[in-house]
Structure 1
């Protein structure tokens, strides 16, 4: 009802003033300044907003594939979920890996590569009990996963499910963020500045890195979706680490500063891949009583530290706000499941679809892939 009231009010103002319902930034600022008691979040503007808006406007949007198996956690009694949770508090051995500052895609529209690589890096460390601390390279995905990108220059958007296929089939080398000489293939100046990924040459671009491109590949064995269910997502994060989600982006999100975001006004301008790292709740600023609280997810973007709270924001939890709970994906290095987990496999696809057939054979193939690689390397 709150959003409906605000929308009607904004529409009324627009009609009276003869301007569009959303005309950033002036019209939006007017609504925020005089109606902030109806919002759970504060807004701000910065130099990055026009660039972000233009990037969404130019992006070639494609419908994400949605045929990964669904992983479900089995419950007896409802699990005991803490009110506050941040994934880094559980795995001390991975503290350095989790301290992943300045997640910034620069001029490249690369959240579809950067945040899956970041999530898989977290999980690589978690599954190895801290023995594998490499950050996986988004640049390797941008440059060498030709099927992932929706445009030829790889900086115009991409498909997350294809990234998981690339990770399981060809592997991902190590690599840090832009301007950091770490790993085999750090994020390149070409991607960060020139909006065009580097060429795929199957070699490490960091001259200080002493391992070959082929030997540095990290492979996965399992990728899946999670149900559109708050509890299922929470249990997954507690047990296995962060997840990535695809959410709808409306114009007002670009002006987010702090607080718990909920879409209020503005048109849909696209979708974005983000990483969910935890949750909490806080006192509601719009409630009638002090006891009312608003639940939220803690979410990482690839928009850099000038946006939001150092690139991190809060979004309303448990209502599938902006679709953030309906397309949650994750992956693991090893194929086996816990005893209280199971995969819900969809009906076999058409024989004509080689792409979908690959999803069925991938888990089996990538169990033996590390063995084959070790034999070849010896």
Structure 2
């Protein structure tokens, strides 16, 4: 399909695809076959290769060592890296670091940019975004945020309990969302504060066992539970404006949701390719499975839905350049999450026993994609936002006609 991406976007995505096919996917296949996990030293080798090919950190400005692509231009490359279990990591475009880089780029002061952003982009540091809280705290409803940060002179004193903080165990610093004005509405009284992970009072309690995960990396990136007990950091570690944390987080999450859409679209495309290849080679009841009408029609529907998901994500990206595109992003995220889940289920089904075996990546994909309907806002929250918007757009004259019809 032709999506009318810019020439620059297509040129970089073509080179990213070649990198995936020539370097990344062969190593992934070997890791799946042998159980020989990919080390951090090996990952750094991929970063050097990506730098040599002008593919490293495509989403970041050149002054920090990235490729300087605009948001819309980088999305096709994100689709390519999504085809591999460690594709995004291989070019330093992985979550949550990718989103945290943008957060620091937008909101950090110059000291923090030099001390944290530059090494983060270069892979010399790892980061985590610490916002979600346990039961009765902030989650799908972020207004329930319980973690607090109180000023004591020129320091913040942070107390709270977080969980599902991605890659906290390997992080060098945390971006913590906390209530900084308890008398204000949470949307107007919370801030994002940078906390070095070795600060007194920070305790990473555990990583959760969970569905999915980077099953071919030597280290479990994981999602952690963290407590903050009288954690003291300078007030100048505030990212963006004080009490402006939710506005900054929305900028982070809007783009982040679309990069996830593209990564999972790439994963879905590869899953369909594997399924179609298997169906063409595997015979049953006298002919290739690919000749069976029921599965052929389901594959046709999957290809149609994946095309629609790619299109709606690109439309949302275009709108994001002009506005916050909150509803367009919500539509893209919800639709793509459900489409990619359905495609993974179909691909596993088409490949039978080979689909659930982990020699192929499909079983890993199947586990990975399920969380997409939950993180960055569950389906139900996005549908709530979409429904509120569409009902507010109800035309008064149509409402009048409905009422008249009811009086008959």
- TM category (shorter chain) comes to under 0.3
Instruction: Report the structure number with the largest CA radius of gyration.
Output: 2
Superposition TM-score, scaled by structure 1 size:
0.25
User: More helix per residue: 1 or 2?
Assistant: 2
* Structure ranking higher on relative contact order (CA contacts 8 Å, 6+ apart): 1
Superposition TM-score, scaled by structure 2 size:
0.24
